[in-house]
Structure 1
Amino acid sequence: MSIYGAKWTEGATVEFASYTDVCKQIINETDRETLSHRRFPLRFIFSNSAEDIRNIINSVHCELGARVLNISEVLNNDEQWPTRDEICRLIKNTETDTVLIALSEYLRFLNDTDFSSFLYAISSIEKPNVRVFIPMLGLWERFYALFWKEFYRAKEWAPVWRISSAPNKHTKIYCLQFNTDNLDSKLEGSLPGCKLVKSVSEWFSTYLQTEVEKIIIVSKVLNMLSKNASSDNAVDFRLLQDQKQLLEEVYGLEVPIDYNENEKRYWTQLFHLISQQRRDFSNSFLKIVEYHFNVHDMSSLSLGKIVRLIEQASDFDIWLLAKTLPKVNKSNEYLNICLSSLDSFKQEKLISKLWFKIFSFKSEHLSQKTCDERRDILREITRAMSDPEELIPDLEKELSTLLNKLDKREVIKYLTGLTSYERELIIKLLLEVDSKDGIRDELMKLYPELKYYIDWESIKLSIDAPEWIIRYFTLYNFSKLQNKKHEEIDTILNKFNHNKESFSEWYIHLNLVLKLIEDKGREMSSGTLRYIWIDGLGAEWLPLIANLVEKSGKATITFKALARVSLPSTTKCNRYEYEKIADLDNFVHSQSSYKHPECLVKEIEIIEKIVDKILRYPEERIIVVSDHGFSFLCTKEHGSYKAFNFDAEHEGRVMFMEEGNDYIGDEYYMVWNIMDGTCKDIYKKALIALKHLSLNNKVPYREVHGGATPEEVIVPFLIIEKKKESDHGSIKKFEVKFDSTELSLRNPILRFKIIPKPDKVVAKIQGKELNVEASSSPNEFTIRLTSYSTGKYVLNLYIDEGVYEQEISIYGGFKERELF
């Protein structure tokens, strides 16, 4: 027998320099000198090159006429795994020279015992004068170690041929050890030069195709058997346990997220995201995440932008934020702690975590920055998407526990002022703490709307009102806050509501609402105009509304006045043909009794919503009117008493008089001739209470109206003008976020953030330049206003080329302490 270009090696194997030498040997192997050559048909041909294998198959088939037989012929379905007997029968039934392909791909998935026993079985097959050529891609080392070196006929003849010069091009084969049902469609064609193998039959024909760098096996049968597979000089097997390994090893994308089997559905979605949206991101996982969330730089996301992402987020989005944001955005420490501790990625779970994670912190470990950050993000979330009221039972439980363990100053760290329960608690604490310890300032900062409610000092009326009226409402609002009538209120009432004459003297000098409507409506000759009637809106609410409008930045109040309603102070006598907002009136009338502080908190919330609604109207100007106010001081709890037994309505505040009823007014009530309003054509006179008492046999338990006290008959008259878009501020490229624009005289330090980081910041008040201190964080700044007294100031921030204007208030608190 002639051996072309070959040399003998150990165990009667023959080594060839190239596949062409092997082909020559096959074609010219006509002189079968030994009995073994004639009895045993198998010829094993080893190469580490799939290209060599393909060339040998083609040459033997074309030049020798040998038929090509794939072991997949024994399969009844694509995912069937052949048995040893089936392949042995296939060989035994061969009647002509044959190239049997894919046997090496079968052997790869056998364990060592089955590997050697199978080779013994097929090598013992006798088939005289028939040759079966078996191309073997790789596998030589395993073949030799487990079978050939111990095979009893190894030295008798040379049925094993090796190509020594074959290039060692390793094909990477990835066996996915996890469920791939939802991945197949995304894997298909997602990587150039990568072949997806979905079945056993497809695997047996893979190496016949054009050579690929990577093969991904998703066949369930093959992946089940893959624990037996081992790498060699032709292929490199990798068992991938999860999608993270798939992304990193196959896609070459480093994913800085630890794999958790409980989160596998999110990994599947992540794979879909990457396979769908992968662009030229230079293998940057962060860039892919930023592309998904449509943000430029995750590391500098503002709190507002993060909240908008959470607002629109799916479970997967929150999972992705939780796994990436804490690693790149270090400015939001509390948010990062909450994200990192999530074990469920539903939106409501994250919101709950933001509310309650803080209660796992000991008070001494809580920094002011952490507390403020929690409040900021919860304020943004509450404004944008979530009503926190359903969390109140759990919140009450946590805070009640703290109240029993900690000093009140420490409890404040855990408050946000965003829920009705917290607001009620803030009011209770305000009434309990000493005015000298500074806690009240901290509490007011948490509930700025309460501060606005009592802020009569800042109100500048367009039409002057008597000083005693401003003083009265200052006392009234504080009395409502404290749930206790200030003694000076009775002093004022006894003077100015002593009788009909004293009442009339101040009452007729105030502008009637109808007169202001007529005068101001005539002046509004240009632009769009809308009239709004807020039922039950007394003058007590003017400071709150004025502050809310101004703080919104969307509008300004160009005209504010205190006006009188027609008597009696009822809706029936003060109807307007305008759009009516009845929320406040409906709430008050729905209460069986006045409860403190619940009712005050709810009424403030109603006013907030009304202002927000008004600011959303499209008209340029809005005139706000009202029909009456309410009084909480007429209830039995606050010393009201039953003075008379008249058949009065509105819970004893007014009685319309029939013809012939002659009453003479005194210090408690007056007889009023109805001359204006919508009752003038219905009634002639009415008996009206001058003080906080009842005219009938029932004392009120809730807030009432109909009488003649200032809080019932004086209402705000407002003209609100919307700011044009250009008036909202000239800075477009920067976001400026103040911790608070209301500063205590004790600690007048203004803290704010500017995002992104500016190159230059200059601050001025009334033209005087201030010292702007940069903190350790590149976006945080501080201005100390220690040289300024109480009052309101306009701060101008010159940020790079833009100007940002903000009103700053410094308050001393001495008047509040006096009233408290």
Structure 2
Amino acid sequence: MDATDKVIVFHSLDDLKEAISTDVKSHDVLAQRYCVRFIMLNCFDAFRELTKFLIRELGVKKFDLETLALGPDKTIDIDTLSDAVRSLKVSSIVTPFSELARFFKESEFKGFFNDIILSEDIAHPQKRIYIPIIGLHNRFTDFLKSFGRIEESAPIWQYYTPKDDKVMVYVSKFKDYIIPDKLNICSLTTMRDWLSFWKKQAPKDKILCGASPILNRWQNAKPDSIFTFQPVDNSHEFITDFLEISLPIEYKEDELEYWDDLLQSIGKNAAQMFDFSQYVEDLFNRKTITVNDILSFWADDGTPAYGRWLLKAYALTYQENELSGYMRNILQEIDDFKIANTLFVNFTERIFYMTNAERLQNFDSRKNIMQSQRDLFRALVPEEHQSWLKEHIIEIAQKDDSLSQAKRICTATFDFEKVLFLGWYVLRAEKDFGLSHLKDFYPDLTGYLTPFEAVATKVPASWVADYLQQFRRAKMADNYTDELKAIVDERNASADSFYNWYYSFQDSHDLLSEIQHNKVYPIDKIYWVDGLGAEFIPFIHYLLENSQSGYEAVLSQIARTTIPSNTHLNSFDVNNHLIFKLNALDELAHEGHYQKYATLVAELETVKAVIHKILDDNKVGKHTIAIVSDHGLSSMSRKCDSLKIDSKTKHEGRYAPLADDCTMVSDINFVVHENERDHKKYKVALRHQSLGVKPTHEVHGGATPEEVLVPFIVISNDDASKFLKYTIVPVEAKVPISDRKVAFKIIPEPQSSKAIFNGQEIALIRHGMQWEGIISNATEGKHHITVIPFRGKPVQLEIEFFGMGFSSGLDLDDF
């Protein structure tokens, strides 16, 4: 006998029922010896009807397999199943057996049937154990073919309907999501759900199963005449096909991890209400997310790669109108979300790969975005990429006579650009990069170059303003100019000429003590900025005016240090309650060799940071603050050959200590000076030539004006200390050269007023409702004149002096 002969085939369910009823009463030896009956089916409706028949008409007990499991999502091993079947004391139907057995490995499958097919219960000859086998025709008949004692086993019945049930089972690790009803997919999330389903409901065409045992063992179910198993382990597929959520994101296989994160975030019960834009806005705690927000969030270390992936889709879909074409192109190309700076590097460099026509379309939008997020681009574009940018901008500039493309590709974001702007201004100011370009591209440098007469600064000696202006220009060009040399040669020609101007300035310590003692200003904090020279006074005024901090300079003047102009002899007593020391500028000067253009750019950034720190640290409350310094810095000693007259110098040759009993006297190269504080003697370099080695850094310690002269600035956000506001207009904008009298209306009327013309201070005298003065050194043409009323800001006005033509005092009609 073979397997085919052993299986009894029925063509109707009624015939099968009749055979079962007959079998119960049978006195056949084999029928009574072996109690297990296998019933082969291909339809779950037949299974449920047969189950009802056995229970209701034959009194068979139902044995639910899920009761054997140790948990709702646990499987049942074959030993437990075998023991349970053999231990049944009464006639029972094991349900739903095949929905467990189909996931056994082949060895387990055959082992189980081998174990129970010949189960005996001689004491209960009419006991029957019914085991329906649904959809496992091939696997079960293969077992029967290999079973050696098939002839002596109990009968095996088969009833197949004309058409098999067909069920698509999507095996998915994504559980508990509510699937839209219109998809007609039943979701079964645990093994208990799976086993219970087949007893209670008509089968669905599609089932989504997340039971862990099936996830791990569904491959064992092949071949199967009813079930087709299809794994669903792709979160994108699950979101789009099973939750039917439409998302504005193109699927890329290497971005699957982000789809996993998104699916996890959607929520088990919220899929049908999911709104992508709302989700992203809620995630970043914004009602709407702007382009600047996108860049800020992208750069944030706290934003995961998943967040950047969402931001890209959000921007391209929901901020489409706000996005420039350039930004859209960059976002479309970005595929690295793990490293924040990739976007910023691509944004910076992409324009270099465009055609000239494409560049013209994108110059402005690129520049606007980079300038609006300047700090982010500075922080996130690495040095090597900045070097790459610099090289390519220089390459473009070298091929462009008018700098038109080079200027448009620059954004004033990086320090190297400022170095370029400084160099272009120095070299090409007369051609294509003048002051107007500098104001647009590098306004901080124009602030540094502001003339002293344009700011309310007390300059005790008129030549100093000219000297500091010449020094700043020489420093910009990194060239020891003849104009600068001529002034220092005149003013420091000897000890006498040096002392003549040195003592005309107040010592900064004395000035501070005088103001504090007389309570001229209610100073509550003092900031000592190490290395801050008088050259930076106009720049500090520019920074204050553009800070929107509420602080103004209520006192500004040039003071001096003692010589040698070093920190030791000019320090302030720091106590961190009243006097605070800021070292950054001096540290910059000493940390590396001076570099043409680059060091000045770095100094401006450092001074800017220092002033902003002072303002930021004093946002709260009303404060009046003194900004003082111990010395300035000079880059010009690097450009002069050293005198090499002393081998024991300090500060790269700027001075040398002398013994107390030294009888050396000053000469044309140095001054022998007894310091006012420590009362020791020093030999101090009078001009830029150092006494010892030739410096390579910026230096201080010598007697040149930029080393000795320092700012003394009092700032306040207290209205009681601030400048008074005046309206100033010229009575006549054109003045005859023969008259030389200028007049101004100043409203409201000040206590006093003065004007500055070509560095000369002129007292203005009130006559009626106007203030007048004589410009003795006026020449024909348009000139700037600065008017400074009492406690008022200086106002620069334009006056034109014109000639009256030829006159001899004779009437030509007489000839």
TM-score, normalization by structure 1:
0.65
Kindly state the Cα deviation for residue 246 of structure 1 after the two structures are TM-superposed.
1.7
Q: Distance in 2 between matches of 1:574 and 1:536?
A: 11
Kindly state the Cα deviation for residue 284 of structure 1 after the two structures are TM-superposed.
0.9
Closer/same/farther in 2, CA of residues 90 and 715 from structure 1, 3 Å limit: closer
Kindly state the Cα deviation for residue 483 of structure 1 after the two structures are TM-superposed.
0.8
Q: Aligned residue for 1:776?
A: none
Q: Which among 550, 567, 571 is matched to residue 567 of structure 2?
A: 571
Closer/same/farther in 2, CA of residues 532 and 225 from structure 1, 3 Å limit: same
Deviations 1:727-757 (A, max 9, x none): 9xxxxxxxxxxxxxxxxxxxxxxxxxxxxxx
Q: Secondary structure at the match of 1:395?
A: helix
Q: Distance in 2 between matches of 1:629 and 1:607?
A: 13
Q: Aligned residue for 2:59?
A: 65
Q: Aligned residue for 2:282?
A: 291
Residues 438, 446 of structure 2: 8 Å contact kept:
no
Closer/same/farther in 2, CA of residues 217 and 243 from structure 1, 3 Å limit: farther
Deviations 1:523-552 (A, max 9, x none): 769988221211111112223333334433
Q: Aligned residue for 2:627?
A: 624
Kindly state the Cα deviation for residue 688 of structure 1 after the two structures are TM-superposed.
3.5
Kindly state the Cα deviation for residue 658 of structure 1 after the two structures are TM-superposed.
4.4
Q: Aligned residue for 2:599?
A: 599
Q: Distance in 1 between matches of 2:83 and 2:657?
A: 114
Where structure 2 has 5 or more consecutive residues not aligned to the other structure, the ranges are: 1-8, 105-124, 139-156, 575-579, 723-782, 787-794, 799-815
Whichever residue aligns with residue 716 of structure 2, its letter is: E
Following superposition of structure 1 onto structure 2, how do residues 672-683 of structure 1 map, counting pairs within 5 Å? 672=673, 674=675, 676=676, 678-679=677-678, 682-683=679-680
Following superposition of structure 1 onto structure 2, how do residues 666-677 of structure 1 map, counting pairs within 5 Å? 668-672=669-673, 674=675, 676=676
Kindly state the Cα deviation for residue 64 of structure 1 after the two structures are TM-superposed.
3.0
Q: Aligned residue for 2:483?
A: 488
Q: Distance in 1 between matches of 2:309 and 2:335?
A: 9
Q: Distance in 2 between matches of 1:226 and 1:354?
A: 53
Q: Aligned residue for 1:329?
A: 319
Q: Which among 709, 714, 717 is matched to residue 714 of structure 1?
A: 709
Q: Which among 546, 553, 558 is matched to residue 553 of structure 2?
A: 558
Kindly state the Cα deviation for residue 242 of structure 1 after the two structures are TM-superposed.
1.0
Residues 103, 218 of structure 2: 8 Å contact kept:
no
Q: Which among 251, 258, 277 is matched to residue 259 of structure 1?
A: 251
Deviations 1:482-539 (A, max 9, x none): 1113332233334443444444444333332123312433576998822121111111
Closer/same/farther in 2, CA of residues 499 and 526 from structure 1, 3 Å limit: closer
Q: Which among 536, 543, 559 is matched to residue 541 of structure 1?
A: 536
Q: Aligned residue for 2:195?
A: 204
Q: Distance in 2 between matches of 1:573 and 1:400?
A: 45
Q: Distance in 1 between matches of 2:69 and 2:294?
A: 61
Q: Aligned residue for 2:637?
A: 634
Whichever residue aligns with residue 448 of structure 2, its letter is: Y
Q: Aligned residue for 1:427?
A: 422
Whichever residue aligns with residue 276 of structure 2, its letter is: F
Following superposition of structure 1 onto structure 2, how do residues 18-97 of structure 1 map, counting pairs within 5 Å? 57=51, 60-68=54-62
Q: Secondary structure at the match of 1:536?
A: coil
Residues 345, 385 of structure 2: 8 Å contact kept:
no
Where structure 1 has 5 or more consecutive residues not aligned to the other structure, the ranges are: 1-10, 16-21, 111-127, 143-157, 728-788, 793-808, 813-820
Closer/same/farther in 2, CA of residues 171 and 224 from structure 1, 3 Å limit: closer
Q: Secondary structure at the match of 1:537?
A: coil
Q: Distance in 2 between matches of 1:372 and 1:400?
A: 18
Closer/same/farther in 2, CA of residues 523 and 160 from structure 1, 3 Å limit: farther
Kindly state the Cα deviation for residue 426 of structure 1 after the two structures are TM-superposed.
3.8
Identical columns (%):
21
Kindly state the Cα deviation for residue 55 of structure 1 after the two structures are TM-superposed.
8.2
Is the counterpart of residue 353 in structure 1 residue 323 in structure 2? no
Structure showing greater Rg: 2
Q: Distance in 2 between matches of 1:382 and 1:634?
A: 36
Deviations 1:608-628 (A, max 9, x none): 332343233247343211111
Q: Which among 461, 465, 471 is matched to residue 476 of structure 1?
A: 471
Q: Distance in 2 between matches of 1:228 and 1:443?
A: 80
Kindly state the Cα deviation for residue 328 of structure 1 after the two structures are TM-superposed.
2.0
Closer/same/farther in 2, CA of residues 505 and 27 from structure 1, 3 Å limit: farther
Residues 412, 418 of structure 2: 8 Å contact kept:
yes
Kindly state the Cα deviation for residue 574 of structure 1 after the two structures are TM-superposed.
1.1
Q: CA RMSD in A?
A: 5.6
Following superposition of structure 1 onto structure 2, how do residues 457-468 of structure 1 map, counting pairs within 5 Å? 459-468=454-463
Whichever residue aligns with residue 714 of structure 1, its letter is: L
Following superposition of structure 1 onto structure 2, how do residues 427-466 of structure 1 map, counting pairs within 5 Å? 427-433=422-428, 435-438=430-433, 442=437, 445-456=440-451, 459-466=454-461
Kindly state the Cα deviation for residue 337 of structure 1 after the two structures are TM-superposed.
3.6
Q: Secondary structure at the match of 2:711?
A: strand
Q: Distance in 2 between matches of 1:275 and 1:524?
A: 68
Residues 230, 237 of structure 1: 8 Å contact kept:
no
Q: Distance in 2 between matches of 1:68 and 1:396?
A: 80
Kindly state the Cα deviation for residue 94 of structure 1 after the two structures are TM-superposed.
11
Is the counterpart of residue 511 in structure 1 residue 506 in structure 2? yes
Is the counterpart of residue 393 in structure 1 residue 384 in structure 2? yes
Following superposition of structure 1 onto structure 2, how do residues 71-220 of structure 1 map, counting pairs within 5 Å? 99=93, 101-102=95-96, 105=99, 174-176=170-172, 180=173, 187-188=175-176, 195-197=187-189, 203-208=194-199, 215-216=209-210, 219-220=214-215
Closer/same/farther in 2, CA of residues 322 and 189 from structure 1, 3 Å limit: closer
Residues 173, 237 of structure 1: 8 Å contact kept:
yes
Q: Aligned residue for 1:313?
A: 303
Residues 46, 163 of structure 1: 8 Å contact kept:
no
Whichever residue aligns with residue 319 of structure 1, its letter is: W
Q: Aligned residue for 2:773?
A: none
Is the counterpart of residue 342 in structure 1 residue 335 in structure 2? yes
Closer/same/farther in 2, CA of residues 630 and 275 from structure 1, 3 Å limit: same
Q: Secondary structure at the match of 1:207?
A: helix
Q: Distance in 2 between matches of 1:505 and 1:63?
A: 130
Q: Aligned residue for 2:371?
A: 376
Kindly state the Cα deviation for residue 377 of structure 1 after the two structures are TM-superposed.
5.8
Closer/same/farther in 2, CA of residues 251 and 47 from structure 1, 3 Å limit: same
Q: Secondary structure at the match of 2:701?
A: coil
TM-score, normalization by structure 2:
0.65
Closer/same/farther in 2, CA of residues 93 and 583 from structure 1, 3 Å limit: closer
Deviations 1:781-809 (A, max 9, x none): xxxxxxxx9999xxxxxxxxxxxxxxxx9
Closer/same/farther in 2, CA of residues 302 and 74 from structure 1, 3 Å limit: closer
Residues 108, 230 of structure 1: 8 Å contact kept:
no
Q: Distance in 1 between matches of 2:427 and 2:712?
A: 36
Q: Secondary structure at the match of 2:636?
A: coil
Residues 244, 255 of structure 1: 8 Å contact kept:
no
Residues 229, 237 of structure 1: 8 Å contact kept:
no
